[in-house]
Structures are given as C-alpha cells and as structure tokens.
C-alpha cells in the first residue's frame, strides 16, 4: 500500500512538472505548444464530456485577413493561452493576442513593420507552428520566428523588447560556426524554455549546400547564445567516428531539430528529435552511420552537454526525419513504473526509451536490409533497428504492400495502370535504397507519423497518434555538372535546372509534395523579378547567390521559357570546378506520390488513421479511419481516411479532439474505443493541432483553419468551440 501511494504521489509530481507550473491556473491554460513540456497534448479539464459533446457550438471566430490563396498559404499554429490571453500567428506570420474567452483582438505585431532594418530576408509564406511564452514577475515575453528571424515581443502590448538581441531580434543564421548567410534556414517549430534559456532548432535545406542543424540555447533576457551542441560532431566529440570522411563536419548539412522539443523539467533534460543529413537521398559523400542524424538526442538543458542518443535510422536514404517531439510518459514494465519517452516515427514505429538512459523498454533488433545500390559511390547501411513492440501503427512496405494491396476502388483501366507502374518499381522492402529504376517508399515521405505528433494519457500510458498511409515513388537521375562553352542557354539551363531545381519542382516543373508548380512562371515573373528571386530565396526556396550572373541568366531563360534567349550560344560561361562534397552525381526527380489516375492513393484504404497504443504492453488497442472523400462515401464506400497534418488532444474524461484532415472536418472520438462522437465542418481544413483551455468559467477548444495543403483552399480563421453559455 505504501509503495502504491508513493508511486501515485511521484506520478502526480511529474504531471505538475510537465505543466511547467504549480500554479492552479496552469491546469486551466495551454501555456505552450503541445500543452506542456511533456508534449503529451493532455488536459484534465472535464466540462466537456461524452454526455454533452454533441452540444458543442462555435463560441467565437477570428479572421486574420492575410490568407494568400494564390500561393496556398497555411496556418499550422497550435495557439497558446496564458493569463487569459491567446497568442498565435497568421498566414503572413503576424503575431497576435486575443481575449481567450471572446476572441477579441488585443494587439498585432507585424514582423515586416519591425523597426530593426536588418530584418530584410523575405519570409512571406514561411510557416510557423507556434510561439513561446516566458514570464518573470511583470516581465512577459513572446518568442517566435518568421523565417530565420527570432523576435522577442512584449506579451502585454505587442512591441519589440529592444534589450533582446539587436533591437528585439536575433538572426538565427549567425553563430552556427559556418557562413550560412545565403542558405535556407527557418524555424517553423517553436523552441522550448528551460529556466532562463530558450532552446532552439531550425528547418534547413534538404539538399546541398545546407547549414548544419546544431542545437542552441539563447538567454531569454539578452538574446545572447549561451550554448551550442554540434549535431554533426567535430573532431574529438562523441559520434565523430561515425562519419567515414574526417572533413564531413565542414560541409554536411541538416541533422537538425525542425520538429520541436520535449523537456523533463525535474531532471533538466531536453529531448531533441533530429532529422536526416543533407542530401536526403544520396549518401556517397557521407558514408557511415552518420550520428546524430535520425536520433532522439537527450541533452542537459542547462549546458547542452550530451547525455544519450538513440538512432532510429542508420545512414538515412529515405528522408526518415524524426517528425515530432516525443511524448514523456510513465509506463508499467515488469510491474514497475518507468519514466520514458515515446518517439513515433515516419516508418510507423514507436520507440519507448528510458528517460534517463535511452535504453529501449521493449527489445529492438537490428534487422538485415538490402544494401545493393545501383548508385555509384553509395554505401547503404546493412541493418536497421526495428522494435519488437509497440506494434507498428501503419502498414510497411516490406511486409504489407504487394500487388494484392493495390487500390481496387477505381475502374479496371486505372487499376491496370497502377499495377503496371507498381511492377516497374523496386519494391518488397521498406529499406530498399533509392534507385534509377524508381523505389517505392511506404510509409511515404510524410509518414506514418508527421509533425502534428501524438497525444498521451499520463494516467493510462496510452498513446494516440494519427498516421498517413500514402505510398511515394523516389527516382534518382545522374547529373552532369559541366558547363561547356558552345552550348546553348537551353542546354545549360536544363543542366542547371536538374542540379538546383528538379528535386523540388520535378522533371516537368509541375511541382510535387509541398513544392509548387513553376510551369507558368513566365506569367508571374519578369526576367528581372525571377533573377531577384534566385538571389533572395522565398519560403522554402533557398537563395542561389552562389550562381554566377550568366548562370542566373541561363536559368531564368529556361524557367521563363524565353525561346529566343534559349538559342543563344554560351561563349563566356566560366569553367565549373566540381566540388564532390556538395555537387553530387545524382539528384531525385522530385517528391511524387503514387496515385491513381483519379488522384487517390494507389494502395487500398485506409489512407489516414487514428490509433491507440498501450505503451505498457506495446499492443495496438484500436485503429479507425480518419477523414473521408465525400464522393466515395456517397457511393456507399466506408470512410477511407485521408492524408492528415496536425495532431490530437486527449482529455482526462475520455475524449480525443482532432482536425487534421483534407475534408475540413473537426472530430471528437471516444478515447477508449475510437468511436466517433461528434463532428463539424470547418470553413477551411484545420491542418494544425487544437488547444484546450478554460476562460471565464468555460472550456474552449480552438483550432486554426488555414487550409492550403493538399490542394485545398487557403484560410485565415481561428475557430473556438464551447458548450452553450448557461442562461
């Protein structure tokens, strides 16, 4: 009995620490992205339950007025609520504050109007998934990023705090130990606060050249960089030996925490899920296991010192970034309570690791995988880690995708088309290396798990995670880096496009994945405007300042289809010195989903799911389709699920809230059974995670309705739901 009481008291203490405050109001608020430092998206608020959830109604809406429908802007922000004020961002990355009970606007901060004239790099259309609040006495600060700029804003009035950084701003491109001024760098996900430190990661280019993804901590008062951990180890640092090239740390990029952090406040440990090394799909210039790429990394939050790591992919060739912060949980193993981290992956696995040591709580085996690459210079790793438990929450290509699994809901001609294409690809194993033939990637580049991340119930140890089940195709082509005199602008432009643009915009320039079509660029840009775009970069597009003036002219003529200029003979193109470290012999043809002619996934449903996993036993408790295509439902086909982006929130009293789907629905499920309890249609798809809080005695659920992904219309609305006010 004494042990049970002690365990219960310890669990309560951990939950208090996870909320980052012992103040009573903290239980009613949503003080940080993902709800708390445990990243468990859990609330103990119980005003809304299974008996009254059908009565939910719109309490207020707030429109930001800056959606960019032409460029398919998005809102992926999980708002926070502190001291009765809701803080969030708009499609154009404006920061705003609202009365959390009424949605009434208090102030707006527009980074474009910043008094700091150093903020010149364009960030229009970049993404922001949330902001950070810090308070000491009456000093309240909001930290948030727009592109590569970290802003410190007074939470009470929306003004920059001039004592932080340079007049309230820090340039995240500075202080990395390399000159990355012209490289792609932004911070889509917010940092996390530990005492007086703001710990930050970044989103980087997945091609080369690319900045290194080192993790840094900044002083919350001054903006001064206090510590940095080299995610690509330098000589003498642990992990340096896992790169065969001793110079790798000088040119390899990526290995970055773009998804955000979790934090054990009591132990002072920050957990960083890291991405792959750049370039994603070819590793001939980075042979070895490549630490700390694709690792869950545990650091001393005060100093940045290494504690432990666990690598989920060795020598990644499939863009298997860790896409979400892990959930901090307490599970029962062999009759004992164990504090753990639960890390979902794009591959559909969940790794459950001891929080202090990184030791797996379930056996993890190194399984042999195909190591025969048809790309010269490539050296795939011969094994990959696979946990015996928990059970995978998504189908996986090496055992769950054969001809029998192809989509048979489409007409026979369409089915025969995908069957023919399927048989032409390299299939049969989730770890088949990239190839010139075309390699099936399943789960696809966007998961299984994605950046929305899981919710976890701290009382039961059950993890709730939504998943995509979309196959993609990865095809590699050889690249000629020469630029011989006597060629035409058309020939040279084709080479430059393959080198710098094809992996995002595809061989046909129609775009793929999250990258737009540039087929009609000539209707949107003049030659001068396009050349300026190449110099500055925009949104996910990096700057190409490394190109010579003639190369810019050549690429501009190619993309804008200037037929006359394309026939010009090149007479002065400088000789190209091939740097094999960053000018790789292969590039991908783009991010291509494996779809039917009708636009549906080429695999049988479900295409999107919501899953409950018992982390104590490792067993999958239930799975349900998440989302639907109305035209298929009208034909009597059960809900198929859709691609989904954004995560769930779980409540103490049995509910699971989630939007995330392309069908614009916002849904509530029974967390015990997966049964749908309530749904409503949003004005635009809610590709974000909801926030739950109490204000003026009412429980609210707020979701950002930004649309924009998956071909949907862009929106600018935050929508709050609550029960009807008592009369």
Q: Give 549's contacts (C-beta < 8 A, 6+ positions apart).
A: none
The answer to whether the beta carbons of residues 366 and 384 sit under 8 Å apart is: yes
- pLDDT(648) > 60: yes
Q: What is the pLDDT of residue 600?
A: 98
* pLDDT class of 122 with cuts at 50, 70, 90: low
Chain-centroid distance of CA 549 in Å reads: 35
Q: What is the pLDDT of residue 508?
A: 84
- pLDDT(12) > 60: no
- Mean pLDDT of the 621-638 span: 97
- pLDDT(10) > 80: no
DSSP line for 314-329? SS--S-----SPPEEE
CA-CA-CA-CA torsion sign (342, 345, 348, 354): negative
- Mean pLDDT of the 415-419 span: 98
Q: What is the pLDDT of residue 726?
A: 82
Q: What is the pLDDT of residue 103?
A: 98
Residue 75: CB atoms within 10 A of its CB come to: 30
DSSP code of residue 673: T
- pLDDT(121) > 60: no
* pLDDT tens profile 423-432: 999 999 999 9
What is the end-to-end Cα distance of the chain in Å, rounded?
A: 46
In 3-state terms the chain splits into helix, strand, coil percentages (rounded to 5) of 15, 30, 55
Q: Give 156's contacts (C-beta < 8 A, 6+ positions apart).
A: 140
User: What are the angstrom distances between the C-alpha of 641 and each of 597, 673, 677?
Assistant: 19, 17, 17
- Mean pLDDT of the 255-281 span: 98
Q: Give 636's contacts (C-beta < 8 A, 6+ positions apart).
A: none
User: What are the angstrom distances between the C-alpha of 380 and each of 42, 289, 368, 373, 435?
Assistant: 40, 9, 11, 7, 12
**Dist CA 328 CA 263 (whole Å):** 8
* pLDDT tens profile 89-107: 999 999 999 999 999 999 9
- pLDDT(115) > 70: no
- Mean pLDDT of the 231-240 span: 98
Q: Lowest-confidence range among 5-9, 252-256, 293-297?
A: 5-9
- Mean pLDDT of the 11-21 span: 44
Helix (H, G, I), strand (E, B) or coil at 658: strand
User: What are the angstrom distances between the C-alpha of 216 and each of 176, 177, 675?
Assistant: 9, 12, 43
Q: What is the pLDDT of residue 179?
A: 94
- pLDDT(664) > 80: yes
Q: What is the pLDDT of residue 125?
A: 52
* pLDDT class of 6 with cuts at 50, 70, 90: very low
User: What are the angstrom distances between the C-alpha of 297 and each of 271, 303, 304, 306?
Assistant: 6, 14, 11, 8
Chain-centroid distance of CA 711 in Å reads: 18
Show the domains of the chain with their CATH numbers.
7-475+595-722 (2.140.10.10), 482-577 (1.10.760.10)
The answer to whether the beta carbons of residues 115 and 109 sit under 8 Å apart is: no
Q: What is the pLDDT of residue 536?
A: 72
* pLDDT tens profile 568-616: 887 766 666 778 888 899 999 999 999 999 999 999 999 999 999 999 9
* pLDDT class of 8 with cuts at 50, 70, 90: very low
Q: In this structure, what is the dihedral angle of CA atoms 117, 118, 123, 128, given to the nearest 10 degrees?
A: -100
The answer to whether the beta carbons of residues 669 and 624 sit under 8 Å apart is: yes
Mean pLDDT of the chain: 92
Q: Give 82's contacts (C-beta < 8 A, 6+ positions apart).
A: 29, 31, 133, 135, 140, 155
* pLDDT class of 421 with cuts at 50, 70, 90: very high
* pLDDT class of 566 with cuts at 50, 70, 90: confident
Helix (H, G, I), strand (E, B) or coil at 253: strand
Q: What is the pLDDT of residue 545?
A: 73
- Mean pLDDT of the 706-718 span: 96
DSSP code of residue 543: P
- pLDDT(1) > 50: no
Q: What is the pLDDT of residue 486?
A: 57
Q: What is the pLDDT of residue 22?
A: 39
Buried b (16+ CB within 10 A) or exposed e, 336-372: ebbbbbbbbbbbbbbbbbbbbebebbbebeeeebbee
* pLDDT tens profile 459-511: 999 999 999 999 999 999 999 877 555 578 888 888 888 877 887 888 888 87
* pLDDT tens profile 630-646: 999 999 999 999 999 99
- Where are the strands (E) in 507-627, listed by range? 586-588, 592-593, 608-614, 619-625
User: What are the angstrom distances between the C-alpha of 562 and each of 545, 556, 559?
Assistant: 22, 8, 8
Strongest mean pLDDT among 394-408, 432-446, 513-527: 432-446
Tell me the H-state helices in 256-408.
397-400
Q: What is the pLDDT of residue 727?
A: 76
Q: Lowest-confidence range among 184-193, 402-411, 495-504?
A: 495-504
- pLDDT(7) > 60: no
**Dist CA 192 CA 269 (whole Å):** 12
* pLDDT tens profile 305-347: 999 999 999 999 999 999 999 999 999 999 999 999 999 999 9
DSSP line for 497-514? HHHHTHHHH-TTSS-BTT
* pLDDT tens profile 427-459: 999 999 999 999 999 999 999 999 999 999 999
Write down the residue that tokens 């190194």 correspond to.
366
Q: What is the pLDDT of residue 14?
A: 41
Among 277, 279, 271, 270, which residue's Cα sits nearest to residue 292? 277
Q: Whole-prediction pTM value?
A: 0.93
Q: What is the pLDDT of residue 20?
A: 44
Q: What is the pLDDT of residue 4?
A: 46
């Amino acid at each position: 009995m004494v042990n049970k009481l002690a365990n219960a008291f310890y669990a309560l203490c951990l939950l208090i620490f996870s909320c980052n405050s012992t103040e009573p109001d903290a239980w009613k608020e949503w003080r940080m992205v993902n709800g708390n430092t445990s990243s468990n998206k859990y609330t103990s608020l119980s005003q809304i339950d299974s008996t009254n959830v059908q009565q939910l109604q719109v309490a207020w809406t707030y429109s930001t007025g800056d959606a960019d429908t032409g460029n398919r802007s998005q809102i992926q922000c999980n708002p926070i609520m502190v001291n009765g004020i809701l803080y969030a961002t708009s499609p154009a990355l404006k920061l705003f504050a609202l009365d959390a009970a009424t949605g009434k606007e208090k102030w707006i901060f527009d980074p474009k109007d910043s008094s700091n004239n150093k903020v010149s790099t364009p960030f229009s259309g970049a993404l922001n998934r949330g902001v950070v609040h810090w308070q000491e006495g009456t000093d309240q600060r909001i930290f948030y990023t727009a592109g590569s700029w970290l802003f410190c804003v007074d939470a009470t009035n929306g003004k920059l705090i001039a004592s932080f950084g340079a007049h309230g701003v820090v340039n995240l491109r500075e202080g990395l130990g390399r000159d990355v001024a012209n490289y792609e760098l932004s911070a889509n996900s917010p940092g996390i606060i530990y005492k007086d430190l703001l710990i930050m990661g970044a989103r980087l280019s997945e091609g080369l050249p690319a900045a290194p993804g080192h993790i840094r901590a900044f002083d919350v008062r001054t903006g001064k960089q206090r510590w940095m951990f080299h995610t690509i180890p330098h000589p003498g640092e642990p992990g340096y030996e896992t790169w065969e090239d001793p110079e790798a740390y000088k040119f390899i990029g990526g290995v970055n925490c773009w998804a955000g952090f979790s934090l054990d406040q009591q132990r002072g440990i920050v957990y960083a899920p890291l991405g792959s090394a750049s370039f994603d799909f070819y590793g001939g210039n980075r042979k070895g296991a490549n630490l700390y790429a694709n690792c869950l990394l545990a650091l001393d939050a005060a100093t940045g010192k290494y504690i432990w790591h666990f690598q989920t992919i060795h020598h990644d060739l499939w863009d298997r970034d860790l896409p979400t912060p892990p959930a901090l949980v307490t599970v029962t193993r062999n009759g004992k309570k164990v504090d753990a981290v639960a890390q979902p992956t794009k591959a559909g696995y969940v790794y459950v690791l001891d929080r202090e040591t990184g030791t797996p709580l379930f056996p993890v085996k190194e399984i042999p995988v195909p190591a025969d690459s048809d790309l010269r210079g490539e050296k795939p790793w011969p094994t990959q880690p696979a946990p015996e438990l928990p059970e995978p929450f998504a189908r996986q290509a090496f055992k769950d995708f054969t001809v029998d699994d192809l989509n048979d809901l489409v007409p026979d001609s369409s089915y025969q088309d995908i069957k023919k294409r399927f048989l032409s690809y390299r299939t049969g194993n989730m770890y088949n290396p990239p190839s010139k033939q075309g390699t099936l990637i399943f789960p696809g580049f966007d998961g299984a798990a994605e950046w929305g991340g899981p919710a976890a119930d701290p009382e039961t140890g059950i993890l709730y995670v939504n998943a995509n089940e979309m196959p993609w195709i990865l095809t590699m082509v050889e690249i000629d880096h020469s630029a011989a005199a006597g060629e035409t602008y058309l020939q040279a432009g084709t080479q430059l496009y393959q080198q710098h643009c094809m992996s995002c915009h595809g061989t046909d320039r129609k775009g793929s994945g999250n990258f737009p079509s540039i087929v009609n660029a000539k209707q949107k840009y003049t030659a001068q405007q396009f050349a300026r775009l190449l110099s500055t970069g925009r949104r996910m597009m990096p700057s190409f300042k490394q190109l010579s003036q003639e190369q810019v002219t050549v690429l501009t003529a190619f993309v804008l289809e200037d037929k006359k200029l394309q026939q010009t003979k090149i007479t002065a193109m400088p000789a190209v010195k091939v740097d094999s470290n960053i000018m790789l012999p292969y590039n991908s043809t783009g991010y291509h989903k494996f779809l039917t002619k009708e636009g549906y996934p080429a695999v049988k449903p479900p295409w999107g799911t919501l899953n409950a996993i018992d982390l104590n036993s490792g067993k999958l408790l239930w799975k349900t389709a998440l989302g639907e295509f109305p035209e298929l439902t009208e034909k009597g086909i059960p809900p198929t699920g859709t691609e989904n982006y954004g995560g769930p929130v779980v409540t103490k009293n049995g509910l699971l809230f989630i939007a995330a789907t392309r069908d614009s629905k916002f849904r509530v499920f029974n967390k015990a059974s997966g049964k749908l309890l309530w749904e409503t249609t949003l004005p635009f798809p809610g590709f974000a995670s909801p926030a739950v809080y109490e204000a003026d005695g009412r429980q609210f659920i707020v979701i950002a309705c930004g649309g924009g992904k998956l071909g949907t219309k862009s929106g600018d609305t935050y929508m709050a739901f609550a029960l009807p006010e008592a009369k």
